Every structure is written in C-alpha cells, then in structure tokens.
Amino acid sequence: MSGMASDHNNSSQEEYIPHYLQKEDPFASKLSREADIIAGFYLTIIGILSTLGNGYVIFMSSKRKKKLRPAEIMTVNLAVCDLGISVVGKPFSIISFFSHRWMFGWLGCRWYGWAGFFFGCGSLITMTAVSLDRYLKICHLSYGTWLKRHHAFICLAIIWAYATFWATVPFAGVGSYAPEPFGTSCTLDWWLAQASVAGQAFVLSILFFCLLFPTAVIVFSYVKIILKVKSSTKEVAHYDTRIQNSHILEMKLTKVAMLICAGFLLAWIPYAVVSVWSAFGRPDSVPIQFSVVPTLLAKSAAMYNPIIYQVIDCKFACCRSGGLKAKSSFKKSRTYTISTHRDSTAMNETQLE
C-alpha cells in the first residue's frame, strides 16, 4: 500500500507543469496594460527614492569612514545591498512593466533573479549580524571591549560569501530562477517543489537558511534586548555622564536596527507566504492579480531604511541639543552661585567643582 501511495505521489509530482511551461510565451504579461503602467510608475518612484536615499547614506558615511563604529559599518553595508537592488534589479522590471512583457529573455531572467536574491539575502544576513551585535553589546557588556573595526570587515566578508553561495546554488542544477506568474518579473523557481523531492529539498533549504533561521536570530536578539533594557534602565541612571552618553548612543543604534529589521520583514513576509504556498500548496489557486501585490511590496523594502536613519538621527539630535542646553544653563547657574559667594563660602566652591 505504501508503495502504491509513493508511486501515486511521484506520478502526481511528475504530472505537475509549472506556469512558465504551460504557455508558449512565459514572459508575456498576464496583467492589463493599465496595471502594468501603474506598477511601472510605482517601481520608478521606489527606485528613485531608494537610489537617492541609500546613495546619500553611503556618501555621508564615506566622509567619516575612519570614525565609523562596527555597527555603523554594518548599516553602510545594508545601504550598499539596498542600492544594489535599486540599480541592478529595478531597471529590468520597470522597463518590462512599461513594455507589457519581460524584455530580457531567459538569460536576463536568471540574472535578475540572481541579483534580487543575492542582494536580498545579503540585506537579511546583514540585519542578522547587526541584531547579534546589538544583543551582545547590550546584554553582554564585555563583548564591546574587544570588538574592533577589523572584526566588522571580517563579518562583512562572511555575509557576502553566504549570499553568494545561496544565490549561486540554483545554477548548480539543484534549483533555478523562473518568471513570476504575471510574467514581467523573475524570482526563485518555487514551483520546483511541486515537481520533485529534490525540488522540495532545495526550497526548504532556501527557506530555512535564508529566511527562517535569520529571522529567528533577529527576533531572539531584540526580545532579549528589550528585556535587558527594562531591567537596567535604573542602573544606568546612577552612572557618570560618559557612561550615560555611551548608553544613549548604543540605544540609538539599537532602535535604528530594530526599525530596519521590522520594515524589512513586514515588506517581505507577504511575499514569503505566497512563495511557500506556491511551493507546497496549490499555486494555481493564487490569482495572478493578487500575486503581483506581495512582489511590489517586497521591492519597496530598500526605500525604508534611509527614512528610518533620518527620523532617528533627527530625534537623537533634538534630544542631544536639549541636553546641551540644559547642561549650559546648569554651568551658568553654577558659575553665578560660586561668584556671588566667593568671599564667604570657599569650601562650597571646592565641593561644587
């Protein structure tokens, strides 16, 4: 009986024909021309904002590159990944949406799929490294005493090697890149899981090592940070000003990292859900008009980070400015008190100093 069930399962998998083999032209748009034009304008705006924003972050960071902290080096790497997605990937899809079909054939499809997965994976693994850095910095204070800039660059090399490996694995014959159901974009061939056990193993590996495991590390790190901050806020108040300022800066970097991760995951989770359903559910049950929405949302992830940097920086600058004003007024008050009582209270002056 088990043999018959296995044969039936194999035969059903062999009978499955992915969408890009069902039509003579897999790159013809399945959307209306009006929908393609709207999507093209949307991606154009996203691409311009992302390019300008991330380019600005990289430019400003390059002006103080010798002073960047390890966590800031990671943030710059994230901007490089987002800029790569915008410059290398988005022009392909923008041209195709406006042309009402994918214009670059199978070779361009595989290149576009590789570039999108490479930079996307690089972004997520960079955020994973940043979350671990924040966790160790906040929850294990001794970690910060030995971490140097060259450790951050070693970590960057590991991140790029990791992204390169997983993005290139499909070219080794265990996976592939294929057009999306709506025809004007390309991605990992999630539909291989419907065709064979090897395809299922490939898709599960991608999901675990490039989505689930990094996301679990990120969630674990920030949950531990939140618990630690709640328990240590009162302790920091008793430290001297130098330690308090250092703590404020570390919390600023942590807030930036948390918001970046939240924005990235919120943008990509709908796409991940649709991809998993295409791999292990009933892919033909997902309406083509619906499948394009998570894809467009995921492509907007590269735009959020520069906005987050600016919001946090402005808030931090306002708080710091307020603190400097208070400190200045305190000094003036102290000088006035000392000068008016110089003759009578020399001992009090010594104590105040």
Summarize pLDDT for 154-201 with one digit per residue, the tens. Answer: 999 999 999 999 999 999 888 899 999 999 999 999 999 988 898 899
What does the angle CA 279 – CA 283 – CA 287 come to, to the nearest 5 degrees? 140
Q: Is the pLDDT of residue 230 over 80?
A: no
Residue 226: both structure tokens together: 């939140």
DSSP state of 116: H
If we measure between CA atoms, which residue out of 327, 287, 348, 133 comes closest to residue 224?
133
Summarize pLDDT for 119-149 with one digit per residue, the tens. Answer: 999 999 999 998 888 888 888 877 666 677 8
CA–CA separation, 141 vs 235, rounded Å?
14
Whole-number pLDDT of residue 131? 87
Whole-number pLDDT of residue 312? 60
* Topology of the domain comprising 33-233+242-318: Rhopdopsin 7-helix transmembrane proteins (1.20.1070)
Half-sphere exposure of 345 (CA within 13 A, CB side): 10
Mean per-residue pLDDT for 13-22?
73
CB 280 within 8 A of CB 207: no
Q: Is the pLDDT of residue 239 over 60?
A: no
Summarize pLDDT for 58-78 with one digit per residue, the tens. Answer: 998 888 888 888 878 888 999
CA–CA separation, 22 vs 26, rounded Å?
8
Residue 187: both structure tokens together: 């991605």
CA–CA separation, 122 vs 169, rounded Å?
15
Mean pLDDT of the residues in the chain: 79
Whole-number pLDDT of residue 310? 65
Secondary structure of residue 258 in the 3-state scheme = helix
Whole-number pLDDT of residue 226? 82
Using alpha carbons only, how large is the chain's radius of gyration in Å?
A: 26
CB 272 within 8 A of CB 297: no
Q: In b/e form, how buried is each residue of 89-102, taking b as 16+ CB within 10 angstroms?
A: bbebbbebbbebeb
Burial class (CB in 10 A: 0-12, 13-18, 19+), 44: middle
Whole-number pLDDT of residue 215? 92
Amino acid at residue number 16: Y
Domain boundaries, the chain: 33-233+242-318
What does the angle CA 294 – CA 299 – CA 302 come to, to the nearest 5 degrees? 135
Summarize pLDDT for 289-347 with one digit per residue, the tens. Answer: 888 999 999 988 888 877 776 666 555 444 444 444 434 443 443 333 333 333 443 33
Q: Where are the alpha helices (DSSP H) in the chain?
A: 2-15, 19-22, 33-62, 70-84, 90-99, 105-139, 143-146, 149-168, 197-207, 213-236, 241-280, 288-299, 301-340, 346-352
CB 119 within 8 A of CB 85: yes
Distances (CA, A) of 62 to 133, 174, 310: 22, 40, 17
